[in-house]
């Protein structure tokens, strides 16, 4: 179930990143409600734990929820666990560095995405190394080294590179409006999970309420 490669700038798709820590039973119910109320393109399992048993339990439960709805689920960084847990691909966090290795391990049919910080150079190299999409971020907030992906980067990318791009982390309603014509996917995480009603929070950020 590859993530859509079709460019549709008038209707950027929703891409969800799991919280770094969650109680599986509660989170599963929250995720089901969101997926039943929103059109979601992809789920990324991104846990802070390095416990393979814990990751596997999460992967098994969330995979069943996603695949029942024909939504691909990928894992953060651990491309060696993709096939073991029946997942649909991996999201790499080192720009273009690991794309070729992950592609060699996973083959041509599974998803390989690349987080490219705020770097056009990494983005272009990732596309040439056979990534399926690139993502830029954070859009705002205090993540990483404090640098942010400028909305102009997405304008340039959409004009110069015909390749799926994701805006992730620190998204606000204002930023969504500003770049919605120049990105293919919006990746949400803390913006919704840190609220009482993630589904409603998602609607608000997307200016649907």
DSSP class of residue 69?
Answer: T
Q: What is the pLDDT of residues 77-107, one digit of tens each?
A: 999 999 999 999 999 999 999 999 999 999 9
User: What pLDDT is stored for residue 208 in this prediction?
Assistant: 72
Residue 10 binned pLDDT confidence (cut-offs 50, 70, 90): low
Each residue of 52-78: b (16+ CB within 10 Å) or e? eeebeebbeebbebbeeeebbbbbbeb
pLDDT band per the 50, 70, 90 thresholds, residue 8: very low
Q: Does residue 157 have a pLDDT over 90? A: yes
SS3 130: coil
**Looking at residues 12-26, what average pLDDT do you find?**
95
User: Which two three-digit tokens encode residue 65?
Assistant: 């929820």
**pLDDT of amino acid 207:** 83
- Please, which pLDDT band fits residue 25 given cuts at 50, 70 and 90? very high
Q: Are 27 and 18 in contact (CB under 8 A)?
A: yes
Give me the pLDDT at residue 5, please.
Answer: 42
pLDDT in tens, 162-192: 899 999 999 999 999 999 999 999 999 999 9
Q: Contact at 8 Å (CB) between 169 and 136?
A: no
Exposure class string for 12-48: b at 16+ Cβ within 10 A, else e:
bbbbbbbbeeeeeeebeebbeebbeebebbbbbbbbe
Assign 3 a pLDDT band (cuts: 50, 70, 90): low
All structural domains of the chain = 13-81+138-205 (3.20.20.70)
Q: What are phi and psi of 70, to 5 degrees?
A: 60, 40
pLDDT on residue 11: 64
Per-residue pLDDT tens over the stretch 95-154 = 999 999 999 999 999 999 999 999 999 999 999 999 999 999 999 988 777 899 999 999
Measured CA distances, 165 to 9, 30, 114 (Å) = 10, 26, 10
| Whether residue 7 has pLDDT greater than 50 | no
Q: pLDDT of 28-82, one tens digit each? A: 999 999 999 999 999 999 999 999 999 999 999 999 999 999 999 999 999 999 9
């Amino acid at each position: 179930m590859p993530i859509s490669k079709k460019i549709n700038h008038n209707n950027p798709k929703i891409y969800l990143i799991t919280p770094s820590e969650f109680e599986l039973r509660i989170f599963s119910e929250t995720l089901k409600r969101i997926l039943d109320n929103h059109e979601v393109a992809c789920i990324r399992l991104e846990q802070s734990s390095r416990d393979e048993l814990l990751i596997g339990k999460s992967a098994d439960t969330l995979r069943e929820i996603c695949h029942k709805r024909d939504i691909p689920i990928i894992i953060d960084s651990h491309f060696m666990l993709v096939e073991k847990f029946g997942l649909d691909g991996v999201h790499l966090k080192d720009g273009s560095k690991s794309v070729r290795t992950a592609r060699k391990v996973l083959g041509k049919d599974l998803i390989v995405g690349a987080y490219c910080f705020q770097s056009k150079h990494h983005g272009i190299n990732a596309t040439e190394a056979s990534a399926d999409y690139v993502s830029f971020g954070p859009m705002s907030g205090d993540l990483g080294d404090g640098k942010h992906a400028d909305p102009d980067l997405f304008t340039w990318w959409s004009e110069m590179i015909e390749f799926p791009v994701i805006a992730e982390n620190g998204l606000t309603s204002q930023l969504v409006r500003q770049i919605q014509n120049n990105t293919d996917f919006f990746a949400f995480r803390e913006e919704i999970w840190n609220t009482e009603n993630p589904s409603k929070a998602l609607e608000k950020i997307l200016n649907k309420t």
